[in-house]
């Protein structure tokens, strides 16, 4: 499914993916582009093939890995463990150029239904050079048991590895090392670079870059509409994640729901 504006693609949303099961098969958006056509995302990069453009994941749902890739355990590190979950498309509740509303099921590797999700994607044209995507979701615990939602930091004490939630894997040319102070990742305070942003609680952060070939400057604003969260940033990959929990698991009781509400804003500068 493709969203377009004035004939140009904004994003392609793959709602029923066929990626390998050890990448935690799930819907994803790729490519995601600016209004001028600059491609911003990376799909299945060679360093982490389970990074799928823009996608919503949970690192751990109980004992199941929905992020993809090897699973970390304190006792023996990262290992392939055959413990991956899958997100399955169920139905469209709404499907238009201005709003996508999708029903999904989150299944364990053993086929157990863990979560039911209602996902809403709302694109908006903000100006002649800026568009935004609001990504909302409500996930209900359908398992009949308490589900701890966690990550490597909260479950295995791997400091700084609190990646979970909505994941943006950027195109290679968002990594830039030529000394231009206007390029990089920036905190709300204006502080720059990964060390100033990673793990810091804030409402939002911004990534500014320059595309290869066209030399076009772009900016991506990541905002959590519900208030501050502890951002996960890896400039060298490059990657930004929206962790809805940080250094403690979030227990989700049967029938209870987790809600997320984020906005990404894409600008041609």
Could you write out the DSSP letters of every residue in 128-191? SSEEEEEEEEEEEE-SSS-EEEE-HHHHH--TT----EEEEEB-GGG---S--TTSEEE-TTS-
* Residues written for the chain: 269
Q: Which helix (DSSP H) or strand (DSSP E) does residue 86 occupy?
A: strand 86-95
- pLDDT tens track, the chain, 269 positions: 999 999 999 999 999 999 999 999 999 999 999 999 999 999 999 999 999 999 999 999 999 999 999 999 999 999 999 999 999 999 999 999 899 999 999 999 999 999 999 999 999 999 999 999 999 999 999 999 999 999 999 999 999 999 999 999 999 999 887 889 899 999 998 888 899 999 999 999 999 999 999 999 999 999 999 999 999 999 999 999 999 999 999 999 999 999 999 999 999 99
Distance of alpha carbon 155 from alpha carbon 162, whole angstroms = 10
Distance (Å) of CA 150 to CA 82, 97, 167, 249: 18, 34, 15, 5
Distance CA 40, CA 59 (A): 23
pLDDT tens-digit readout, 230-258: 999 999 999 999 999 999 999 999 999 99
Asked if 227 and 214 touch (Cβ cutoff 8 Å), the reply is no
- In angstroms, the Cα distances linking 138 to 1, 56, 120, 195 are 22, 12, 9, 31
Q: Residue 72 — φ and ψ, nearest 5°?
A: -85, 135
Q: Is the pTM of this model over 0.85?
A: yes
Place of tokens 């992020």: 67
- Tell me how far apart the alpha carbons of residues 166 and 38 are, in angstroms, rounded to a whole number: 21
3-state helix, strand, coil in the chain (%, to 5): 5, 50, 45
SS3 label, residue 232: strand
Quick one: tokens of 25? 């098969």
Q: Which residues pair with 217 in a beta bridge?
A: 210
What is the rounded CA–CA span in Å between residue 187 and residue 178?
20
List the domains of the chain with CATH numbers: 2-268 (2.70.98)
Chain centre distance of CA 104: 16
pLDDT at residue 176 in the model: 80
If one counts every other C-beta atom within 10 angstroms of the C-beta of residue 256, the result is 12
Cα 45 to Cα 64: distance, rounded to the nearest angstrom: 23
């Amino acid at each position: 499914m493709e969203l377009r504006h004035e004939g140009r693609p904004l994003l392609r949303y793959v709602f029923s993916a066929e990626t390998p099961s050890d990448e935690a098969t799930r819907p994803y958006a790729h490519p995601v582009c600016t209004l001028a056509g600059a491609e911003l995302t990376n799909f299945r990069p060679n360093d982490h093939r389970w990074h799928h453009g823009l996608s919503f994941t949970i690192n751990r749902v109980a004992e199941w890995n929905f992020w993809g890739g090897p699973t970390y355990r304190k006792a023996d590190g990262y290992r392939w463990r055959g413990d991956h979950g899958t997100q399955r498309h169920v139905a469209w509740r709404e499907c238009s150029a201005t709003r996508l509303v999708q029903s999904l099921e989150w299944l364990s590797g053993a086929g157990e239904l863990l979560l039911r999700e209602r996902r809403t994607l709302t694109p908006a044209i903000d100006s002649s050079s800026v568009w935004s995507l609001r990504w909302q979701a409500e996930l209900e615990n359908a398992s009949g048991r308490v589900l701890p939602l966690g990550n490597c930091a909260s479950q295995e004490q791997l400091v700084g590895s609190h990646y979970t939630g909505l994941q943006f894997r950027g195109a290679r040319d968002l990594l830039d090392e030529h000394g231009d102070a206007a390029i990089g990742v920036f905190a709300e305070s204006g502080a720059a670079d990964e060390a100033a942003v990673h793990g810091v609680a804030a409402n939002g952060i911004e990534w500014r870059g320059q595309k290869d070939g066209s030399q076009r400057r772009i900016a991506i604003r990541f905002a959590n509409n519900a208030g501050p969260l502890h951002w996960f940033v890896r400039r060298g990959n490059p990657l930004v994640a929206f962790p809805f929990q940080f250094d403690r698991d979030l227990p989700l009781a049967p029938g209870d729901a987790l809600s997320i509400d984020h906005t990404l804003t894409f600008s041609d500068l």
